[in-house]
Structure 1
Amino acid sequence: MERISISRKTVLLIVAFLLFVGGASAGVIIKSSNSAGYPPLIDATIDTLAEGLAGKKFTSVDLVKAYIARIAEVNGTLNAVTEVNPDALSIAAQLDSEMSAGSIRGPLHGIPILIKNNIATNDKMNTTAGSWALLGAKVPTDATVTKKLRAAGAVIIGKTNLSQWANWRSINSTNGWSALGGQAYGPYFPHEDPSGSSSGSGISSSLGLALACLGTETDGSIVDPSADNNIVGIKPTVGLTSRYFVIPVSEHQDTVGPMARTVKDSARILQAIAGPDPYDNYTSLIANTTLPDYVSACKMDGLSGIRLGIPRNVIAVRSENFTGPMLDAFNQSLRVLEDAGAVIVDNTDFPAATEFHNSKLPTKILNADFIVNLHTYLSSLSYNPNNITSLVTLREFTQSFPLEAYPLRDTRLWDQALQNWNNTDPRFWPAYQQNLYYGDEGGLLGTLKRHQLDAVILPTRFAASSAATVGAPIVTVPLGFYPASAPVVRDSWGLVTAAPGTPFGLSFLGPKFSEAKLIGMAYAFEQKTQTRHKAQPYIVPKTELQDVVGA
């Protein structure tokens, strides 16, 4: 097998060079701290940027310059971005020309977006899932969600770091670590666990390294890093957004969604990427359906008359000593929800919560999918430099290529998968039906029906798995922060999992394709609490639009 002999240091130098070229060719000069009326990029919204672009106060090229400079400022510490698009400035210039000619594609026209490094781009950037195995590999086309963003006028300025293979390799690794991208860190405390697997997307959105990001979720990978980085994340129903040319874990659970600082921005991006795709048959469920207007769902009365259930036993089976402040904030939020018109129905427990928590079946289902779905993706590559064609050859590469950090970080999930049946085996279907029970009658969907609920609410730390098995949607919004008196809690790798000022979130979980209603609930809560602004990251990039406009 022919293998790439490039070193990690070389790749980091390439990334640094791209960052430098992006900034230097843009003429980035730090001039002053006077905002001159420009929106601060850590708080900028699509609306404020679109208004500035339309009013010619700045250009898309200016935005790209500023965001590239911001990435360069903090990336050496946080490892949030693995690559900057070397064509970003020319793409932005073309979009500026279109706007000058009176052609505006929509609210995302000229807006810079970062996407997770398992979402394919058919350009000069890599799509690697954080692995050296796919460095230099080429795809024949953009992922469908990539195409949709480009068609909407967004500038894809780079790829974000992630937990390698979307956290589907090791049982002894860390959130935010990939062999190619290194260890990503959250921005609210030094060496903070950024959560995973859309770690870099969470960090980047939080700090304004782009207007927003795309992430992917199989079980928690959008909502968890959104909550832990103090932003909004929408995990769509499986089948609402295409997974075509997204490096897979599971066809039954994977989904692509937005991660942004506000509910409305997340809704705008979801509007752009949602919809049927002939290359992803799961989206056929919406093929003849008119999608809701997710942006119009952002209303202050989004909680009025809404019935919200609390499955306390889901919290009980997963609580840990350090989650006390999170649960306190959750309980205090109930008054806010009631004041906004919601009806709280407490103790709407999931019958199978304990059995589900202790079951090994969910892992077996994901492994069964991964073997088959990964092979399909790899066989579709137009250039495969290391001839990685299956999980067997991927494991061989990973265990023998020094920069993959094996055996320090193991391949136990893959080892288990290769000893198990895959999703073409007759044993898969009955096992999958049992797994569905944990999210249906025994879990989220059954509880929604039995208690006539519009949604279930949980601290985001406890939410993801309840929706994952059945592909149901979740919207998470900032809920609070650990108090100044909180102890610093570290995992066995030294990552900080809780500390003074680190964020956590509140999740709204609903029936399939209930995104519009969940967005309305989340928006009403966000607007009434404004939690995001109640704490600040310890590290913030300083470059702003005024530093690049006219430079």
Structure 2
Amino acid sequence: MNMLRETDAPYRSVIAWAPRFVTGPGELSGLSVLVKDNIETADMPTTAGSLALINNAPGRDAPVVTRLREAGAVIVGKANLSEWANIRSTNSISGWSAVGGQTRNPYDAERTPCGSSAGSAVAVAIGLVPVAIGTETDGSITCPASVNGVVGFKPTVGLVSRTHIVPISHSQDTAGPIATTVEDAAIVLTVIAGSDPADPATAEADARKVDYRAALDAGSLRGARLGVMRFIVGNYSTEAQAEFERALTALRAAGADIVEITEPPADFRALGGWEIQVLMSELKHDLNAYLASTNPTQVPTRTLADLIAFNEAEPREMELFGQELFLRAEATGGLEEPVYVEARERSFRAAGPEGIDRLMSTNNVVALIAPTTSRAWTNDREDDDDGQGSASRLAAIAGYPHLTVPMGFDRGMPIGLSFIGGKWDDARILSLGHAYEQRTRERRPPPLTQ
């Protein structure tokens, strides 16, 4: 493996590792792809941004990487991320890891790239690669894609394998593409989607996947009924709301019927509490299982408890924020614990069958829409310019598809439009986003690439 040379310093906060590589024939022949540094590749370490995993090189490709390579893609490196995918601390810094440092937003270096797939989104935004692979548990693909002015797609959970990806939650985790266009995202999704015997969640993937590029239809908005999630739109900045109204005008002009949905799903306000309980319980279980699969000579930290002890003893890990979420996860009692079982059942029902599904069926719509988030907030912890609004939670908890497409600018910073659908509605959601993208062409590259 090759680490980046010192002369590559401008990209060191975006790329964590760079390998020697070869290419071959296939659907993606010669396509340069970055993968997030929580996805295993045989030729580079996989650290999740943590010094505890700095030597984690078990010499295996995650199935998603295998599929990319077999299609001819060139894995040119590992993208920096928010350490542990933003699950170590309630005060974690998006785009920062002890391994990779701080990834910065190319539209304004003083503002966040969001996370946790920060390096993946920034690399695509600046044209370093046309496509990168991110992962999402809740917002980790869609938020960085939105604030860096690119396309991000979180597939239905179970469409893409999670094997050999450093986990948070088997209920919510998925890998997905980040690209400059919906078409590119669809091409890559067609390659990486599919069943994996080692990941039971993907049992239906082979039967459900289609050629996502072939399914794109620039006219798909004509006659499509889209539900506006007004119950969250009021949480966004004034500028983001104004851009959203402009997007609604464009959607209507393309033939879409816009349906106002003012009432949230039942138990909507309880979702956050249930979700964090699920994530904490599954983090302990799933991360312990992952660590047990690594080489003990490379990864001496074999459990979450070991990671906590490692961080306490390593000043470079703790100088900016703590590990409150790790501590909370370690205190959980396992997947048989009633509080976990109840939280997962209630959260999934409220977000899925009684959430997205009911909103769509009651209002007779084929997708739900909202701004993805407001402009990127500043990196200054003392600044009151915090993140405002997010469309990710319902789709994240339900495990349903969520696409963000560039929508416009909020005080000079990019913002995206979210399209959310039901389980296995991936092709339709991509097609609707593609139709909007083709009509509006809202993406503008950041200044440093112009």
Fold shared per TM-score above 0.5: yes
- Match status 1:344 vs 2:258: yes
DSSP-derived class of the 1:361 partner = helix
Distance 1:324 1:139 in 2: 48
Deviation at 1:290, TM superposition (A): 5.3
Aligned counterpart, 1:469: 397
Aligned counterpart, 1:206: 125
Aligned counterpart, 2:322: 410
2:424 to 513, 536, 549: 513
- Match status 1:438 vs 2:370: no
| Contact 2:352 2:394 (C-alpha < 8 Å) held by counterparts | no
1:83 to 17, 42, 51: 17
| Contact 2:268 2:351 (C-alpha < 8 Å) held by counterparts | no
Deviation at 1:419, TM superposition (A): 2.2
| Contact 2:208 2:424 (C-alpha < 8 Å) held by counterparts | no
- Match status 1:145 vs 2:64: yes
Aligned counterpart, 1:328: 242
Distance 2:309 2:257 in 1: 54
1:43-83 deviation line (CA, Å, top 9, x unaligned): xxxxxxxxxxxxxxxxxxxxxxxxxxxxx37325xx11111
Distance 1:466 1:240 in 2: 18
Range moving further from structure 2, 420-429 or 113-122: 420-429
1:256-283 deviation line (CA, Å, top 9, x unaligned): 0000000100000000100101010000
Distance 1:134 1:248 in 2: 13
Distance 2:104 2:241 in 1: 24
Aligned counterpart, 2:447: 538
1:291 to 198, 209, 222: 209
Q: How does 1:365-514 map to 2 (within 5 A)?
A: 365-406=278-319, 408-461=320-373, 462-483=390-411, 501-514=412-425
Query: Unmatched 5+ residue regions in structure 2?
Result: 374-389
CA RMSD between the two structures: 1.7
Deviation at 1:538, TM superposition (A): 3.0
Deviation at 1:420, TM superposition (A): 2.6
Aligned counterpart, 1:112: 32
| Contact 1:353 1:442 (C-alpha < 8 Å) held by counterparts | no
Distance 1:246 1:16 in 2: 23
| Contact 2:106 2:447 (C-alpha < 8 Å) held by counterparts | yes
1:311-337 deviation line (CA, Å, top 9, x unaligned): 211233x34xxx111111101111111
| Contact 1:348 1:447 (C-alpha < 8 Å) held by counterparts | no
| Contact 2:160 2:205 (C-alpha < 8 Å) held by counterparts | no
Q: How does 1:251-330 map to 2 (within 5 A)?
A: 251-287=170-206, 289=207, 291-316=209-234, 318-319=235-236, 323-330=237-244
1:505-550 deviation line (CA, Å, top 9, x unaligned): 00000001111101110111001110003xx423239xxxxxxxxx
Range moving further from structure 2, 410-419 or 269-278: 410-419
Deviation at 1:386, TM superposition (A): 4.2
Q: Which amino acid aligns with 1:110?
A: G
Q: How does 1:87-102 map to 2 (within 5 A)?
A: 87-88=20-21, 91-92=22-23, 95=24
Q: In 2 relative to 1, CA 221–228 (structure 1 residues): closer, same or farther, beyond 3 Å?
A: same
Aligned counterpart, 1:546: none
DSSP-derived class of the 2:152 partner = strand
Q: How does 1:127-276 map to 2 (within 5 A)?
A: 127-276=46-195
| Contact 2:193 2:205 (C-alpha < 8 Å) held by counterparts | no
1:78-121 deviation line (CA, Å, top 9, x unaligned): x1111111x12xx14xx3xxxxxxxx322x10111000000001
Distance 2:78 2:417 in 1: 27
Distance 1:384 1:171 in 2: 31
Q: In 2 relative to 1, CA 163–524 (structure 1 residues): closer, same or farther, beyond 3 Å?
A: same
DSSP-derived class of the 1:440 partner = helix
Q: Which amino acid aligns with 1:362?
A: E
1:142-167 deviation line (CA, Å, top 9, x unaligned): 10101000000000000000000011
Q: In 2 relative to 1, CA 263–236 (structure 1 residues): closer, same or farther, beyond 3 Å?
A: same
| Contact 1:330 1:479 (C-alpha < 8 Å) held by counterparts | yes
1:201-227 deviation line (CA, Å, top 9, x unaligned): 000011111121000000000011001
Deviation at 1:442, TM superposition (A): 4.2
Aligned counterpart, 1:30: none
Q: How does 1:47-86 map to 2 (within 5 A)?
A: 72=8, 74-75=10-11, 79-85=13-19
| Contact 1:161 1:198 (C-alpha < 8 Å) held by counterparts | yes
| Contact 1:309 1:348 (C-alpha < 8 Å) held by counterparts | no
Larger Rg: 1
1:415-467 deviation line (CA, Å, top 9, x unaligned): 11122332232442222111113302442222112112100001012211111
Q: In 2 relative to 1, CA 178–423 (structure 1 residues): closer, same or farther, beyond 3 Å?
A: same
DSSP-derived class of the 2:423 partner = coil
- Match status 1:122 vs 2:51: no
1:367-406 deviation line (CA, Å, top 9, x unaligned): 1000010011111113443411111001110111122134
| Contact 2:33 2:75 (C-alpha < 8 Å) held by counterparts | yes
Q: In 2 relative to 1, CA 349–139 (structure 1 residues): closer, same or farther, beyond 3 Å?
A: farther
| Contact 1:189 1:538 (C-alpha < 8 Å) held by counterparts | no
